[in-house]
């Protein structure tokens, strides 16, 4: 199988579990490229590429979570049928992974073995501060840099806005226009990751994910800011492996 949604996918001999990874706002599948080289034997990377970025730059990005889930579910459902799978999502990706898990349950589809969320407050918490996607350009740029978006370092303001502004705004609009309530909890184990120096997401906001699952819950704090997974992904993968090996024979 091939799919524009999974541009980095390479079949791996002896795969026991497929790991779907969902990027943060403004990011693409390439964020997870380094993961392929350090995933333990038996795990296969499936980094998701939504429209509007990298190989799919010519396609308009989604601004509706419902529309994104509908199209993604139709495109990727065949990839859920041949082996067990797990979801990992960072920031916006955490929301997407959570809501796709709920959608799969609602339609009677297969469930992930484990849901890993990272750098994101639990859905349904009271919103604080302004809507980021609606900020004027100077304030918008300031927020992006405060979040530690290292991918933009060294770019002049005009270049940053021209290249990434529309995609960032679309992704943030998608997240900020999602249903305000927490929704039905999922029925799978859930682990939440956070950065020790993340100014955007507090420990308490991460801990609130405990109420979003009926399964087991764990919380893991790692060094770094909001994008701690850029350098800290080996530590994340170690936790993923420990959680999954008990659920997958032979992993």
Active site residues: 91
CA–CA dist 142, 128 (Å, integer)? 17
C-beta pairs of 100-103 under 8 Å, 24+ apart in sequence = 100/69, 100/72, 100/73, 101/186, 101/188, 102/183, 102/184, 102/186, 103/69, 103/73
CB atoms under 10 Å from CB of 49, counted, come to: 22
| CA nearest to 229, candidates 122, 116, 146 | 116
Looking at residue 216, the DSSP 8-state letter turns out to be: -
Question: In the 3-class helix/strand/coil scheme, how is 70-111 assigned residue by residue?
Answer: HHHHHHHHHHHCCCCEEEEEECHHHHHHHHHHHHHHHCCCCC
């Amino acid at each position: 199988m091939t799919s524009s949604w999974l541009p980095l996918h390479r079949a791996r001999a002896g795969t026991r579990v497929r790991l779907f990874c969902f990027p943060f706002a403004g990011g693409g599948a390439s964020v997870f490229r380094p993961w392929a080289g350090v995933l333990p034997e038996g795990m296969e990377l499936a980094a998701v590429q939504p429209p509007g970025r990298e190989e799919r730059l010519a396609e308009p990005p989604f601004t509706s979570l419902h529309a994104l889930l509908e199209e993604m579910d139709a495109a990727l459902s065949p990839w859920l049928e041949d082996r067990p799978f797990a979801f990992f999502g960072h920031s916006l990706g955490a929301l997407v992974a959570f809501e796709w898990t709920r959608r799969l349950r609602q339609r009677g589809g297969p469930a992930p073995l484990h849901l890993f969320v990272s750098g994101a407050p639990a859905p349904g918490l009271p919103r604080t501060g302004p809507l980021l996607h609606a900020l004027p350009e100077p304030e918008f740029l300031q927020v992006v840099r405060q979040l530690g978006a290292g991918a933009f370092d060294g770019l002049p303001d005009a270049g940053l806005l021209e290249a990434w502004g529309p995609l960032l705004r679309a992704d943030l609009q998608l997240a900020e226009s999602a249903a305000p309530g927490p929704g039905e909890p999922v029925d799978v184990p859930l682990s939440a990751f956070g950065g020790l120096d993340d100014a955007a997401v507090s420990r308490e906001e991460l801990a609130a994910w405990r109420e979003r699952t009926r399964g087991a819950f764990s919380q893991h704090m790692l060094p770094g800011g909001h994008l701690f997974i850029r350098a800290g992904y080996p530590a994340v993968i170690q936790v993923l492996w420990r959680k999954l090996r008990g659920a997958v024979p032979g992993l």
